[in-house]
Structure 1
Amino acid sequence: MSEKIKILIVEDEMIIAANISLQLNELGYEVTGIVPRGEEALMHIKSEAPDILLLDINLKGNLDGIETALEMQKNHDIPVIYLTANADDVHFNRAKETHPYGFIAKPFKKLDLQRAIELTITQISCKDDNKTDVESQNTEAFILSDCIFVRHLNSMVKVNIIDILYIEAERNYCRIFSNNKEYLLVMTLKEMDKKLPARHFLRIHRSYIINISQIKEISTSHIVIGRKAIPISKSLKKELLKRLQTI
């Protein structure tokens, strides 16, 4: 892959597209084009294939974003990041069939765009490394008794378990919140839950795993860790209270 990542923007709202293009340029990426229709995107890809496709789901024209991705994937293997103002289950389930690298919900911040692209680049790099690097065949996190090594860009970063506050699901990603930093992993919360040491962590909600030792307050419907109020389901609250009695 070239040093400068090439990105094609497929977005039919030109003000949004122009703003994305400006942000991408500021982040150091090369925008190969801005096109408003899926049909035009397919033509563009034939002449100048980008490294990443930023694709609005709700395109006007004969093809919506998901149909455009399906057509593109017949001849090209280009990572897709979807842009969407409609993140309902119907669209999400359709989009999953195209195996996207990410979803960005509108309206979004520059940081959301930056993180989605960095995650995609990391996944591409890991795919490439799999051919020659045994380490890359492992998952995005290595769990030890007192720490977790998480993949950040092209290296593994150590995160001490005592510093982890909680972990939050973001669809097919999960975000680790520690005392000092956040880490976004290409791993579902369910997968992460299986790997974490049970004596330290408990899943208290479909979207949250907490570090039990970091709890500051337990309320009727939530617990507090740091300054974050985290919802807790009734059934899992019983499990939490049971665990606290044995610590």
Structure 2
Amino acid sequence: MHIPATALVLEGEKFVADKVTEQLEHLGYDVVANTSRGEEAVARCQQQPPDLLVAGDHLTGLIEAGVALQMIQDAAPVPTVALAAVDKAAGTVMPRGSSAAELAACIARAFGVPSWDAATGPPQDYILNERILLRHNERMVSLAIADIRFVQDYRNYSSVSVPGETYLIAISLPLVEHRLAGSGFLRVHRDLLVNLRHVTEARYDELTLDRGITIPVGRPYRRRVNREVKVGV
């Protein structure tokens, strides 16, 4: 089951803050707060860290921007997009990305994707430490990696299966496997990556997951599966 992917906007210039909020909502994020006060942003992030923070340095509260950001990152590291003044002479302050597309590019970099195919633009699906952020029904949502049962190859995409739902992400299975290394996932077939937390029974040629789902084990993968999973008769 997914939950909305959340963002928090911290910026004292109302025009800029409202514009960024609108852009984030257009990109599918649930903006949980739009505040100009560093202390409010710190309190919210300490209570429930958002998936993304967009922050400027024109604050109105008691805490300066640099101090607020340091306190937030000390409590729980949050991917952050910084805002910058680009036209001070004209009396306006705009985000570094003045369009939703440019903000999307900044978000991709904040999530650790430094480059992408210019023809397709920045990605919308991200594998982070404990969750996957992805575009689903025009909204950005968050999936806990622990809830994923298996991931299946679907051409240049991957199909992610969680209880009651399947999601398609624009990330190839080999890259998913690389990003999830060390998270308890095992390649058991050319087209399948399984979360070992959900394995309830194992045989040399197939695995059974919770709710009775069976997954075939490909011949080239059986030795490793037998070594890493307790195999029955």
The TM-score, its normalising length taken from structure 1, stands at 0.42
Highest RCO, 1 vs 2 (Cα 8 Å, sep ≥ 6): 2
Normalized per residue, the structure richer in helix is 1
